[in-house]
Structures are given as structure tokens and as C-alpha cells.
């Protein structure tokens, strides 16, 4: 059973954080699904990933080789047997999606009030459904876990 990792972006832009998480996921042997709500945002992320230093194999959904893509940018679930789902732009994720994945990352802009409210709503609904979740912030300059559900008590 997977877990949801919420990433509150306040320092690095979305393409930088997305590339870092996708690279780590590939390193763990996982295929990645980048799930968004907007074709325009996914096309922008596609261009940013191609322009970054270092090769990160990926493609936009709708091509002949979706199933073979190590990283698939899509507005719908499935397509490349991903073990890691990275949600951007307020993409929806269900407890069932999380249970079937090894990891789900939910990235949201810390300076966008609507994005913050949407992420809070996702946290509440997913944790109420019994999903394991962690909240990560880069406020200090490096990623730090600020909350988790269920809460683990220190000895």
C-alpha cells in the first residue's frame, strides 16, 4: 500500500521539483505518471523537462508508445504501469489510486491560495479515508517533513 506525500512548493519552481522527484523515482525502479488537469500545463512541463540539463526520459500521453514511457505526462489515470504518481495543478487522486501505487506525490504552489485550499481538502479527505500521508515543506531551504498521518509518536 502506498502513501501520499504532499510537497508545499515555496522555493523551487514546479519543473525543478518534478524533475527531482521523477529522477529519484526512476532510480528506485518505478515508472512515473505525472497527472495534471491541464494539457497546457503538461505541455509546458514537457518542454521544461526536455530543456533541463541531463536526460529524463518522458513523453506526453496520446502517443504510440505511452505504455513504454518511463515518465508519462497525462490528464487521465493509467497508461504506463506507473508505481509513482505525481499530481500537479490540482489533479485528483483517490485512496484507491494511492493503495495501488508505491508512492503518490502531490505538488502544490505555496503562493497560490486556491492551490493551498485544494491541497488541504485533499489531505483531509485522503486521511479521513485511512490513507497514510506526509506533508513536506521546503520553507527552511531544504525539504523537511512537517506532519504525517497517522501520527507516529517518538519514544
Each residue of 97-153: pLDDT tens digit? 999 999 999 999 999 999 999 999 999 999 999 999 999 999 889 999 999 999 866
Ordered by start, the domain boundaries in the chain are 4-149
pLDDT (average), residues 25-52: 95
The conformational region for residue 110 under phi > 0 = left, psi -120 to 50 = alpha, else beta, is: alpha
* pLDDT of 82 higher than 70: yes
- 107 burial level (CB within 10 Å; 0-12, 13-18, 19+): buried
What's the mean pLDDT in 58-73?
Answer: 95
Q: Which residue has the cell 490513507?
A: 131
Cα gap 58→22, rounded to integer Å: 10
DSSP assignment, residue 66? G
Residue 47 pLDDT > 90: yes
Architecture of the domain defined by 4-149 = 3-Layer(aba) Sandwich (3.40)
Residue scoring higher pLDDT (53 or 42): 42
For the segment 30-38, the average pLDDT, to the nearest whole number, is 97
Amino acid at each position: 500500500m502506498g502513501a501520499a506525500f504532499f510537497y508545499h512548493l515555496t522555493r523551487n519552481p514546479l519543473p525543478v521539483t518534478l524533475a527531482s522527484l521523477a529522477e529519484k523515482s526512476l532510480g528506485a525502479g518505478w515508472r512515473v505518471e505525472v497527472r495534471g488537469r491541464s494539457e497546457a500545463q503538461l505541455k509546458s512541463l514537457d518542454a521544461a523537462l526536455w530543456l533541463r540539463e541531463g536526460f529524463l526520459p518522458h513523453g506526453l500521453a496520446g502517443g504510440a508508445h505511452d505504455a513504454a514511457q518511463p515518465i508519462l505526462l497525462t490528464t487521465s489515470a493509467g497508461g504506463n504501469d506507473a508505481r509513482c504518481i505525481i499530481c500537479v495543478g490540482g489533479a485528483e487522486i483517490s485512496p484507491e489510486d494511492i493503495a495501488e501505487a508505491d508512492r503518490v506525490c502531490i505538488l502544490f504552489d505555496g503562493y497560490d491560495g486556491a492551490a493551498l485550499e485544494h491541497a488541504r481538502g485533499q489531505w483531509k479527505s485522503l486521511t479521513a479515508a485511512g490513507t497514510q500521508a506526509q506533508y513536506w515543506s521546503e520553507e527552511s531551504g531544504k525539504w523537511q517533513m512537517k506532519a504525517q498521518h497517522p501520527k507516529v509518536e517518538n519514544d
